[in-house]
């Protein structure tokens, strides 16, 4: 049986310098190469969590992830396959100024280059392919993004085990672990607004994200299961407001409501509701789907969709 691939995560960090988009490359003298910052997934980590941690460790930059850029896949010298997941990550002036990077045994130098110069400087074809995907986003003006994150609540006590109203059912021990794991990945995308169904199981699921991000949670029956079943939910309005705000937000809701959240995102951004997009709403407990939209043209179509689950 062949070995499982080595999984890693990283980012194409970008900023605007003198009106030109530049990207960050790392020089590794020990490996005699120039590449993008990245690193292996640690046990218990999700891919977004790994990407953000590695950015801090390798570049000294505390960043949030933008839209995914796919993977780079290649074979290591020993014959084992490696798969690296990449995201775009914007670096504003304040973040750049706050970098704590200093040369070390792993990364000897950081270098900001324009896209054309970066393509020539990169050591590996698979990295140039990732850069080409980012270049395509720049060419069609979809490189500045925000996200709407649809989170399904963690596993809750079953109705047969609970004497109270359905909306008051709390999370189980496993559900709390799912909520903690999801939070570690969600904060990598830098949410600016946290919204939850009024149901206890949703509020408890989003609390770890609130604790990590230092934000309060807005509770609303507009995305609750009770509201949905009573015909009183208003997903359309919630999604319209989030798109208009153009800031990354988390919506913690229920299995029956999630397809409508995705449907409204597709409808209000003029995106065809195809089978893959529909399937992004079919989340297990504790899973979340990240829908990336253009900050410049938020109704011009969904840029990318990714789904992640808890790592337990």
* For residue 1, pLDDT beyond 60: no
Collapsing DSSP to helix, strand or coil, 199 comes out as: coil
Q: Start-end ranges of CATH 3.90.79.10 in the chain?
A: 6-139
In this prediction, residue 2 has a pLDDT band, given cuts at 50, 70 and 90, of low
What is the pLDDT, as a whole number, of residue 96? 95
Averaged pLDDT of the chain: 97
Count CA atoms closer than 13 A to 179's CA, side-chain side.
26
Rounded Cα distance, 312 and 297, in Å: 37
Q: What is the pLDDT of residues 196-207, one digit of tens each?
A: 999 999 999 999
DSSP-assigned beta bridge partners for residue 11: 87
Helix H or strand E encompassing 263 = helix 258-268
Q: What is the pLDDT of residues 93-109, one digit of tens each?
A: 999 999 999 999 999 99
DSSP-assigned beta bridge partners for residue 35: 26
Is the CATH number 3.40.50.1240 carried by domain 145-308?
A: yes
Q: Is 230 left (phi over 0), alpha (psi -120 to 50) or beta?
A: alpha
CATH assignment, 6-139: 3.90.79.10
Cβ proximity of 286 and 182 under 8 Å: yes
Q: What is the pLDDT of residues 209-252, one digit of tens each?
A: 999 999 999 999 999 999 999 999 999 999 999 999 999 999 99
Q: Which residue has the higher pLDDT, 10 or 31?
A: 10
Q: What is the pLDDT of residues 139-162, one digit of tens each?
A: 999 999 999 999 999 999 999 999
Across 230-252, b (16+ Cβ under 10 Å) vs e yields eeebebeebbeebbeebebbbbb
Q: At a CB cut-off of 8 Å and minimum separation 6, what does 204 contact?
A: 153, 154, 170, 171, 175, 176, 179
* For residue 299, pLDDT beyond 90: yes
Rounded Cα distance, 64 and 89, in Å: 6
CA–chain centroid gap for 219, Å, is: 22
Rounded Cα distance, 148 and 11, in Å: 20
Q: Start-end ranges of CATH 3.40.50.1240 in the chain?
A: 145-308
Question: Closest Cα to residue 7, out of 34, 43, 53, 32?
Answer: 43
Reported in sequence order, the residue ranges of 56-210 that DSSP labels E, i.e. its strands, are 68-75, 81-90, 109-114, 145-152, 193-197
């Amino acid at each position: 049986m062949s070995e499982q691939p080595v999984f890693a995560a990283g980012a194409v960090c970008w900023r605007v310098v003198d009106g030109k988009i530049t990207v960050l490359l790392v020089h590794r003298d020990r490996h005699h190469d120039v590449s993008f910052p990245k690193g292996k997934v640690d046990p218990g980590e999700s891919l977004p969590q790994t990407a953000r941690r590695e950015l801090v460790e390798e570049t000294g930059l505390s960043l949030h992830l933008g839209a995914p850029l796919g993977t780079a896949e290649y074979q290591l010298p020993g014959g084992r396959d490696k798969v690296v997941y990449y995201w775009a990550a914007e670096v504003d002036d304040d973040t750049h100024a706050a970098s704590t990077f200093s040369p070390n045994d792993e990364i000897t130098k950081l270098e900001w280059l324009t896209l054309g110069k970066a393509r020539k400087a990169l050591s590996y074809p698979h990295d140039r392919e990732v850069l080409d995907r980012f270049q395509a986003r720049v060419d069609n003006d979809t490189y500045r993004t925000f996200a709407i994150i649809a989170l399904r609540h963690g596993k809750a006590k079953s109705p047969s085990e609970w004497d109270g109203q359905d909306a008051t059912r709390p999370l189980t021990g496993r559900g709390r672990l799912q909520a903690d794991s999801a939070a570690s990945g969600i904060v990598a995308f830098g949410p600016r607004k946290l919204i939850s169904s009024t149901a206890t199981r949703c509020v408890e699921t989003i609390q770890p994200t609130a604790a990590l991000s230092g934000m309060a949670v807005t509770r609303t029956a507009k995305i609750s299961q009770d509201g949905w079943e009573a015909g009183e939910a208003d997903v359309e309005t919630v999604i319209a407001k989030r798109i208009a705000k153009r800031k990354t937000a988390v919506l913690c809701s229920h299995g029956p409501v999630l397809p409508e959240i995705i449907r409204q995102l597709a409808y209000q951004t003029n995106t065809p509701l195809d089978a893959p997009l529909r399937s992004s709403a079919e989340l297990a407990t504790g899973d979340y789907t990240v829908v990336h939209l253009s900050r410049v043209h938020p109704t011009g179509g969904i840029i990318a969709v990714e789904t992640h689950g808890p790592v337990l």
